[in-house]
Amino acid sequence: MVRDAGIAERWGMLADLVADGEVVVLSGAGLSTESGIPDYRGETGRRRRAEPMTYQTFVSSDAARRRYWARSHLGWRHIVDASPNAGHRAVAELERRGLVAGIITQNVDGLHQAAGAQKVVELHGSLHRVRCLTCGHRTSRHGLDRRLRVANSGWLARTKVTDAVINPDGDAVLAVDEIETFRTVDCGGCGGVLKPDVVFFGENVPPSRVEECYALTERAGLLLVLGSSLTVMSGYRFVRHAAARSIPVAIINQGPTRGDGEALMTFDVPLGPALTSLLEALG
């Protein structure tokens, strides 16, 4: 098996596959940890033991929504201040060179685009947008942030910002009393409930987006998985789809993944240095 060969040989094979072009990148939270954004299942996630908000809880409880938006209002500063790391920049450069045909990202942080990538499908949406659950209107998260600041004048100053633990979906761990004093806001157009334009746990990815990703995978010369444990079927299905069609799969991730058995080759290495090295190998 190629996986059992020396890393130098495997790295050379990966560089050759990437050089052939038509690469489709499937990226996960591990690609953004070097930008200071934690993941759920990697080392940073294990340290936090984070439990994500579910869709069912969010839509059924005013208290849950207050808790989410209070924590997210504080954590948003962590997301918006994050910068693309060497891994994001390397992927954008591969796209610029015409070698990457598309990027399917499970991340909601917008860092691929911030690095300059253009062909990005946000599988799970983006924290940079907000959607009304009643009228469906989408607005900027920056606009919501301004409205929440007005509705909660002085609240940020009173919270223990420096002590807050930031979770993977951009929320911050807060004390109960800090949450109870927070005021949410509704849709400015219809007064409906506002939700971040991301797919929560327990919520389905829009079918049209899934089909777009399947089609992109089918045209790939290589499916390159970056920083995903592939634990959730949402991303793992594209690995299975590629392998079933004899499309080579390569995985770069710190730690084992659910897709290792379908991969032609795997690399357990830090993403930023690895992708920088890949660019250098390509010349």
Number of domains in the chain: 2
- At residue 87, does pLDDT exceed 70? yes
State the helix-helix crossing angle for 271-282 and 86-96, rounded to 10 degrees.
Answer: 30
pLDDT on residue 38: 81
pLDDT on residue 86: 98
Q: For residues 152 and 257, state if they share a domain.
A: no
Q: For residues 103 and 146, state if they share a domain.
A: no
**Which residue carries 């299905």 as its tokens?**
237
In a domain, 234, yes or no: yes
Q: How many CB atoms lie within 10 A of CB 249?
A: 24
Residue 107 annotated as lining a ligand binding site:
yes
Q: How far apart are CA 183 and CA 259, in angstroms?
A: 43
pLDDT on residue 173: 73
Q: How far apart are CA 227 and CA 28, in angstroms?
A: 5
**Of 136, 163, 198, which one is at a domain's C-terminal end?**
198
Which residue among 78, 88, 112, 124 is the active-site one?
A: 124
pLDDT on residue 165: 61
Q: How far apart are CA 143 and CA 161, in angstroms?
A: 21
Strand 265-267 vs strand 249-252: parallel, antiparallel, or unpaired?
A: parallel
Residue 60 annotated as lining a ligand binding site:
no
Q: For residues 137 and 53, state if they share a domain.
A: yes
* Res. 266 pLDDT band, cuts 50 70 90: very high
Q: Which of 74-78, 193-197, 222-226 has the lowest mean pLDDT?
A: 74-78
Question: For the domain that residue 224 is a member of, what is the CATH number?
Answer: 3.40.50.1220
In a domain, 42, yes or no: no
User: What is the tens place of the pLDDT at every residue in 31-44?
Assistant: 999 999 987 655 44
Q: Is-catalytic flag, 124?
A: yes
Domain of residue 229: give its range.
1-37+86-124+205-283
- At residue 5, does pLDDT exceed 60? no
In a domain, 192, yes or no: yes
User: What is the tens place of the pLDDT at every residue in 132-183?
Assistant: 999 999 999 999 999 999 999 988 888 765 455 666 556 677 878 889 999 9
Residue 213 annotated as lining a ligand binding site:
no
